[in-house]
Amino acid sequence: MDKSTNTKGNWKDLKKIYGIMFRYWPVLVTGLIAMLLYALFSGISITFVIPLFDYVFNPNKPAALYTTMGQFFDAIGTAWGSYISGIGGIFAIRGLSDLAPFWESLKQIMLQTNSLSLLYAICLFVVITMVLKNVFYYIQRILFVDLRGNTIRDVRNLMFSRYMKQSLEFFNQNRVGDALVRMVNDVEIVSEQFIRSLLEGIRDVVTILVYMRIALLMNSQLFLYSIIVLPAFSLTIGFLGKKIKKYSRRIQAQLSSMFSTVEEALNSMKIVKAFRREESEYKIFSQINKRHLKLWKKAQRYSALNVPLSEMTTLFTGVIVIVIGGRMILAPGSTFSLGDFTAFLFAMFSMLHPLNSLTQIYTDVKKALVSLGRISTVLNTESSVQEAEDAVEKKDFNSEIVFDNVSFSYKGSKPVLHNVSLTIHKGEKIAFVGASGGGKTTLANLFNRMYDVNEGAILIDGIDIRKIKISDLRRLFGVVTQESVLFTRSVRENIAYGSLDEVSDEQIRKAAQVAHAEEFILNFPNQYDEILQTKGANLSGGQKQRLCIARAIVGDPPILIFDEATSALDTESEKLVQEAIDDATQNRTVIMIAHRLSTIQKADRIVVLEHGRIVGIGTHQELMENCPRYQKLYNLQYGHST
């Protein structure tokens, strides 16, 4: 039952990958035609050994009737014309067996042709055939490289798009290093095995069928004797495939851990060095790397058995063919000629290489199924925040935001917010305060649907935000977080990042001026075109936050959210950022999440949260008079005794 379900799942996942590949069907079809022609000319090339052994190097040939290549080709043309007129036209040919009369005529012509002239003619045919074979081989390789490259690009684009559409809940549960492994390593493995190997597998199957047909025409009995070792070989390959798949799954898991460990350590280098944990981090990485190596070695040991098994199959097949075929040639009155036997040997041994390739593909595909599953996990994972099918457009904010008995908990954890009810009016500046873990940041993340509420509803102008188009909803909000997140791009691009609409240089400058950022931007050598270092390392904390404020207001959103925007700053920087906030919030609805009470005392209303519940609402003065929790927070911060 489990195996059947797993197989159906694999096929469903493969259909998605192949669906992407079939977008480029003209390239695929052209490549397959070139592949068929390559296989056809590969088969034709080995049949030239028959006339070479039976008619060129035949010491018992009669006197030559055709002494030049020209006479030889004329005779072939005459025989072909007679054959076609005799059967009623070329379209009467239904299979190779229908060509038997022409083949008999051709053998007579070769028998009556001067050996040297026949040798020249055969060499000419061999050269033409080999040139065409290799031309078609090159064409199909180039076309399939193009097909595979386009598919890899599209799969990675699709995966990145999926990551971009996931909710914050997804990223809380999945590490960045794992995402990198899936997008880079797993996609490469899947494209290698399910695209390249599929196409090469088709080529190998067609080539085998061509050679098999030739071998059967030469001697069907000998062919049946030669394949008796295949069943045992197939069972062994199946066992190896299962082992390789098992270890591949473990290897990819270890690889994800390795990438994640590296990503976390490098991103936290300041803390690593501050607490002298370089050696500790190295030991953690070394252990993961050691486990990865152990699993990789085991997988490689099983994989390495493919070559000796293939060699042994070739050996046994060759011995059987030579012994039985030799006896057939030497039998009195045998019609099985040396040329036929040589062509048969060429056909059989030419089959073994693509057959060995197919067995290698089988084991590689087993390994790639693990990566396919990891890719499909991302492609099939829907965001927990979904847009309603009947979602409405909303371009402006007119009256109020209402929290109606809102409760929320993160997946697998206890509730963070309990029955929160609150109305925020347009133009109001409202602040949320409380101890760490009280639910302030969680509340801020619910406004623009970073998460969805578990119970209750949030309404903007009377419309449930789950009924508003997500893009329209988030356009109403400008967000400044505690951590100043900036990109390794120009100052101009970082500010313009705040709007999906085209923003002019004038709008960017105005936003920078309002955020009090232009004063330091103009000091850069390239001013607005200055490229920021990683995480804005060439800026101070206050400068980074002012750029973030400029980014938040450049799209002119009617509502601004400040999530502890000054809590990580020193007093001087906080003063500058606070001035920027005051200017940026003119004529806007403002939601402030604050830890320092000094930053929110001028708010129209302050909401006090404790353990996810509202325990007080009012102005600073009102709360100082009637809210014990607020009084305690104030006294703790300002050093007053209670």
3-class secondary structure for 604-630? Answer: CEEEEEECCEEEEEECHHHHHHHCHHH
Nearest to 192 by CA among 158, 241, 142, 149: 149
Of residues 67 and 341, more confidence is placed in 67
Q: Find, among 472, 471, 560, the residue nearest to 511 by Cα.
A: 560
Q: What is the pLDDT of residue 236?
A: 59
Spatial distance between the Cα atoms of 24 and 34, rounded to a whole number of angstroms: 16
What is the structure's pLDDT at 2?
44
pLDDT at residue number 363: 67
pLDDT for residue 133 is more than 60: yes
Return the pLDDT at 4.
Answer: 47
Tokens matching residue 344: 């048969």
Say which residue, 176 or 162, is predicted with more confidence: 162
How many residues in total does the chain contain? 642
CB atoms closer than 10 angstroms to residue 572: 10
Phi, psi (degrees; rounded to nearest 5) at 337:
-80, 170
The dihedral through the CA atoms of 579, 584, 588, 590 has a sign that is: negative
Give the closest residue to 461 by CA, choosing from 558, 365, 361, 563.
558
Min mean pLDDT across 184-193, 265-274, 322-331 is at 265-274
Q: Which helix (H) or strand (E) holds 182?
A: none
**pLDDT, tens digit, 9 for 90 and up, residues 5-61:** 455 556 777 777 888 888 888 988 898 888 888 888 887 777 776 666 666 666 677
Q: What is the pLDDT of residues 329-366, one digit of tens each?
A: 667 766 666 666 676 777 777 776 677 677 667 767 77
Of the listed ranges 35-49, 74-88, 109-123, 213-227, the least confidently predicted one is 213-227
402 touches 459 (CB < 8 A): yes
Contact 325, 341 (CB under 8 A): yes
pLDDT of residue 642: 45
pLDDT, tens digit, for every residue of 280-293?
777 877 787 777 77
DSSP states along 164-177: HHS-HHHHHHS-HH
Model pLDDT for residues 306-336, shown as the tens digit of each residue:
656 666 666 666 677 777 776 776 677 666 6
Averaged pLDDT, 240-264: 65
Residue 229 has pLDDT above 60, yes or no: no
Enter the tokens of residue 530: 């200055």
Closest to 511 in 3D by CA, of 564, 462, 547: 547
Give the helix ranges, DSSP H, for 56-114.
69-87, 100-111
The CB density around residue 637, as the number of other CB atoms within 10 Å, is: 12
pLDDT of 245 > 70? The answer is no
Model pLDDT, residue 272? 62
User: pLDDT by residue (tens digit) across 394-446?
Assistant: 888 888 888 888 888 887 677 888 888 888 888 888 888 887 777 788 888 88
The whole-chain average pLDDT of the chain stands at 76
Please report which confidence band the pLDDT of residue 389 belongs to, taking 50, 70 and 90 as the band edges.
confident
**pLDDT grade for 538, boundaries at 50, 70 and 90:** confident
Residue 217 has pLDDT above 80, yes or no: no
pLDDT in tens, 544-590: 888 888 888 888 888 888 887 665 555 566 676 677 777 777 778 88
* pLDDT, tens digit, 9 for 90 and up, residues 510-532: 888 888 888 888 888 888 888 88
Pair of tokens at residue 596: 């320092």
Give the up-direction half-sphere exposure of residue 319: CA atoms within 13 A in the CB hemisphere: 7
The pLDDT assigned to 277 comes to 63
| pLDDT at residue 184, rounded to an integer | 76
